[in-house]
Structure 1
Amino acid sequence: MSTSLVDRPLLAVLTLREAWRRARRRLRTGPIHRWRFAGGVPDRLLVVPPNLRHGDPAVAEAIYAGRFHFAGQLLEPGRSSIFELALPSPAYAAELNGFDWLRHHAEAGDALAVANARTLVDDWIRFKGRTIAGPAFEPAVTARRVISWMTHADLLLTDAELGFYRRFMKSLAGQARYLRSIAQEAPDGMPRLTVRIALALAALCLPTPNARIRIAALHLADELDRQIFPDGGHVSRDPCAVARILADMIPLRQTFVGQGQPVPKGIYTAIDRMLPALRFFRHSDGSLALFNGAGAGDVHLLSVLLRFDETLGEPMFHARQSGYHRLAAGQTVVVADTGCPPPPAFSGGAHAGTLSFELSSEASRIVVNCGRPIGEDGDWRRLSRSTAAHSTVTIADQSSSRFARSESLDRFLGTPLVPGPTHVDCAETGDSGLGFEATHDGYDRGFGLLHSRRIEVSRDGRTVLGADRFLRGGGHRPQMIARDATARFHLHPSVVVESAGAAIRLSVRDQTWLFRCDSHCEIEDSIFFADVAGARRTLQIVVPFDALSPDGVAWRFDRER
């Protein structure tokens, strides 16, 4: 649904808050306060943090050859430095200036890769590092760069010539001082948390009084307590956010220990909560469920992170604070979104996928959501966030949550999702406890209807039963009357689909599943965004039904072999 009149006050509040945050940040980086960023040049790093992210030498070779591929777009600067060019998108600028790609040079490890990495860092210092302005100095981008430079300091500084060494240390120390000055003015959510992680790491790695280490650790622990739920999920409700945070937090914890510093309680308890949450969102093939901004993940990184999980128990059934259910039996896993959208300040990547689900079996995904595109094409991004891009139900092809359909607002506010569902009732069902029934009110305002979904998994995992129906809401006067409801089941591109009488046969690897429902169903085209190679064509099962029918529609997946 697009923005309605009743949503405008909320958007006005968000706009005023963002304008005030930007004004405060501008004041802190203006001429009056810029003296804070000056200071002495450290003579060395006390420690180089470990890196858990693996690299690809082929990417380092492409960068050396002048092919810079970020955020789904390619630039070839030729004889110019990449840092002299106008960049195609904010997402491209964030990836380039964040320097996370140094891991590819570290993986290559040869003299050519080392020299190229130093040249690119030196180019950044020369062309971007002298003026605190533009996308390169967005708080989250600066924090990512500080973390990357410190993590790969061995690559950059070992046997480096003295001039580069001093330029590097001067720039790194100045960026850390800049982050300390604007930390409170960083955008809420992941950007602010990344800034706090970078500051805690910088306090350990750069020569710093112990008092500053304690203050940085305290601020980080407070931010973790605010953003990480008791069940280990992140307030954005993005499963991939948990992996990204852990990939920085575990090296930080190891650096605390390596420097003989006590690990603050808030830091190690947050890690202990997040590791089981990572297993909760993990499918049978090792990938993460695609909800609320999750996209193509790094399966290798997930495997590395889970080596630090010492609990080794079965994942929880219901992540109450995060708002998800996980049903696992035999070799079958179902993960479902049974929560409300995140608060608007944290919803820049959130999706209108309430009551959507994903199904995997053994090492194969079967039913999926479309996921987040690798690039930042506005039309694809909006489509991927719609309810129709999720394995759930729509009415009249409308989304259950509303979006600010204004490019200027999207640019200014960061594409927030204006909440649709404000309440989700959820209860366990099934004799074995492997089921739930949940109801959300996202369609109450527009249509006066509540969407109810029940999903159950058999004890042996060979049958998944589901039912969808609409109940009378009564909380709002309907803005329109509609009877056309559609249940969608997006299929992973690896699934082979064929008709089997009244059923649909789904084949993947050595498995065969039958989909049946008590209504007419169709096979239509779909798109799977969350692939490391980019968007891929796939198929979806579409089941139209009458939204005003009290019985709704019942469906099931049965494993044949």
Structure 2
Amino acid sequence: MASLGRLARGGPLERLLGQRNTALRLTAIPRDHVEGDRRLGEAFLTGTLVHGAERLDLHDLDFSRFKPRSPAARHLHSFAWLRDLAAATGREQGAPLGEAIAGRWLVVHGAKPDEAWAPELWGERLLFWTAYAPYILSTRETAYRSALLNTMARGARSLSKTADKARPGLDRITAWAGLVVTSLCLEGMPRVARAESGLMRALAQGQFDDGGLMSRSPTEQLLLVDRLGLVRAAYFAAKQTLPDALEDTACAALAALHGVTMGDGALASWQGGNAGSAPRIAAVVEGCGLRSRPLRQARGWGYQRLSALGTVVSFDAAPPPLATMIETGCASTLGIELSDGSQRLVVSCGGPGRAKASLPDALVEGLRSSAAHSTLILDDMNSTAIQPDGPLGKGVNDVILDRSEDHDASMVSASHDGYARRTGFVHERALRLGNDGKELAGRDNLTPKGRRKGLAGLQFALRFHLAPGVEPTPTADGMGAILRSDTAPPWNFRCRGARLRIEQSLHVSARGEPLQTQQLVVTGETQRDGADVSWTFRRSS
């Protein structure tokens, strides 16, 4: 704390260049209703920025040493940590520190555009600079205040030219969101109409009609809801009318997020992400100001949700995302995740998400494979190829979906063509969750595509990765297992039409760390007319 305290006593603030003649001021300060992480804020006060598995030492901070390339360094440059700082301390203690760090940023990056001026970084920075202005603009030092406000204006003007150069999806939406908020809150900025138009265009380009991002990443979906919540707060602070189209889009985004939230309040681990922090997710949902019910039948977003009396199933029933939307897309088609109350039972292996992994690169790539998800793998292949340089290649093009509900159960079936070109087989998975939540019944079929037969003698495996803390005990007949955990009744697994074995697996925690666990593996061999395997998970009480 002593070294950080020296930041607040001058040095970089005295070297800020060129006090501007134009006197700018914030005409509105949005109120961020999302509670920050006090633990992270307290670590920040002691000189450490914690982001996922990364830790940055902030003592004697020099921004020239922290290029915005790693996830933690980008988090530092975004100033999103202001939310956690505010959760840990009030303005009296937090403002000198926030102003000192902002001053150091201005010294290195305020004079001319560089990589810290990436449009998505400027967008996020402006969202948090406006919402937490009391933590960076409480000083009476006019040179500093003028420099910061004029840099905000320059950043916004830069966004008006560069926002559409950001990667489509969350990054581009963030860039335009920052410009909208600055147009609403900073005196002298152009009218908000152009920024609104850019934001709605970015949303249309990066979001499905059902509200889910085209990256199909729950981790990014959480950030989208957070960004739109800050935009809404800016409209209310500026006493401006929120456009109906933007409000509807934000509500749809929240519904899609709810649709991939499991019974413990954390996320399903799709598209290279992990469950995340349930308290942080709850803080965003409660603080964004939106209300929406979970999206159950998602055509574009693609995650079908089945739920009954505490049992929740997430089912990936869509093709993988385009490489232009996410770099870490996964071959997860027809994978499932299952939870009973707060206890997860069946999971995907997950991944580091947008944070830096403490995992080897080869393992991170392996976590994108079909085998790292709870789905069927044929001939040890991915349903969609993962190319050596990272992007997804050929594989699943079409997913055919059918869903129905009756008085007894919810039923959904889907099929994909990811293996058809190479083996001649289409994979179909059908699920049925009883309305009492006690039984999830499934059936996996491999059927020849068209009139020609498939290849006989191919090995297939249905993998059901178990959550940490779930212990499987095989039954005497080798066709089932009892799944025991600390926080849920035992569940019985049974299969028919193939053989069951138990293997080691892993699951990536919310901190991006690998946790050892186990998996149920149901194996068999194709005939020329395919294969048919049925299975059930049934709660014992």
Query: Which interval holds the TM-score relative to the shorter structure?
Result: 0.7 to 0.9
Q: Does structure 1 residue 552 correspond to structure 2 residue 532?
A: yes
> 1:347: Cα distance to partner?
3.2
Q: Does structure 1 residue 132 correspond to structure 2 residue 113?
A: yes
What residue is the counterpart of 2:6 in the other structure? Answer: none
What is the CA–CA distance in structure 1 between the aligned matches of 2:144 and 2:94, rounded to whole Å?
A: 16
> 1:318: Cα distance to partner?
1.4
What residue is the counterpart of 1:507 in the other structure? Answer: 484
What residue is the counterpart of 2:274 in the other structure? Answer: 295
Change (3 A) 1:279 1:88: closer
What residue is the counterpart of 1:144 in the other structure? Answer: 124
Q: Does structure 1 residue 382 correspond to structure 2 residue 360?
A: no
Check conservation: 1:425, 1:438, Cα contact below 8 A: yes
Check conservation: 1:515, 1:556, Cα contact below 8 A: yes
What is the CA–CA distance in structure 1 between the aligned matches of 2:177 and 2:342, rounded to whole Å?
A: 34
Give the letter for the 1:528 counterpart: H
> 1:145: Cα distance to partner?
1.5
Give the letter for the 2:177 counterpart: I
Check conservation: 1:448, 1:473, Cα contact below 8 A: yes
Change (3 A) 1:86 1:221: closer
1:447-502 superposed Cα distances (whole Å, 9 cap, x missing partner): 22211111111221111111212122359999x98611111111111323323434
What residue is the counterpart of 1:283 in the other structure? Answer: 262
What residue is the counterpart of 1:253 in the other structure? Answer: 232
Check conservation: 2:432, 2:442, Cα contact below 8 A: yes
What residue is the counterpart of 1:327 in the other structure? Answer: 306
Give the letter for the 1:516 counterpart: R
What residue is the counterpart of 2:4 in the other structure? Answer: none
Number of equivalent positions: 510
Check conservation: 1:333, 1:361, Cα contact below 8 A: yes
What residue is the counterpart of 2:78 in the other structure? Answer: 98
Q: Does structure 1 residue 417 correspond to structure 2 residue 398?
A: no
Change (3 A) 1:207 1:477: farther
1:165-202 superposed Cα distances (whole Å, 9 cap, x missing partner): 22221222221111112122222121111111111011
Check conservation: 2:29, 2:131, Cα contact below 8 A: yes
TM-score (norm 2): 0.87
What is the CA–CA distance in structure 1 between the aligned matches of 2:223 and 2:379, rounded to whole Å?
A: 36
Check conservation: 2:348, 2:372, Cα contact below 8 A: yes
Identity %: 28
What residue is the counterpart of 2:382 in the other structure? Answer: 399
Deviates more, 1:528-537 or 1:355-364: 528-537
> 1:535: Cα distance to partner?
2.6
What is the CA–CA distance in structure 2 between the aligned matches of 1:181 and 1:97, rounded to whole Å?
A: 20
> 1:43: Cα distance to partner?
2.6
> 1:361: Cα distance to partner?
1.2
What is the CA–CA distance in structure 1 between the aligned matches of 2:168 and 2:530, rounded to whole Å?
A: 43
SS of residue in 2 equivalent to 1:417 = coil
SS of residue in 2 equivalent to 1:493 = coil
What residue is the counterpart of 1:357 in the other structure? Answer: 336
Q: Give the gaps of 5 or more residues in structure 1.
A: 1-37, 407-414
> 1:82: Cα distance to partner?
4.4
SS of residue in 2 equivalent to 1:403 = coil
Change (3 A) 1:72 1:440: same
Give the letter for the 2:202 counterpart: E
Give the letter for the 2:53 counterpart: G
What is the CA–CA distance in structure 2 between the aligned matches of 1:419 and 1:82, rounded to whole Å?
A: 45
Check conservation: 2:351, 2:364, Cα contact below 8 A: yes
Give the letter for the 1:506 counterpart: L
SS of residue in 2 equivalent to 1:157 = coil
Q: Give the gaps of 5 or more residues in structure 2.
A: 1-18
Q: Does structure 1 residue 191 correspond to structure 2 residue 171?
A: yes
User: What RMSD, in angstroms, separates the aligned Cα atoms of the two structures?
Assistant: 2.7
> 1:306: Cα distance to partner?
4.2
What is the CA–CA distance in structure 2 between the aligned matches of 1:195 and 1:207, rounded to whole Å?
A: 19
Change (3 A) 1:481 1:174: farther
Structure number having the greater helix percentage: 1
Give the letter for the 2:273 counterpart: A
What residue is the counterpart of 2:433 in the other structure? Answer: 457
Q: Does structure 1 residue 162 correspond to structure 2 residue 142?
A: yes
> 1:245: Cα distance to partner?
1.3
Change (3 A) 1:521 1:189: same
Change (3 A) 1:560 1:148: same
Change (3 A) 1:143 1:90: same
Check conservation: 2:271, 2:330, Cα contact below 8 A: yes
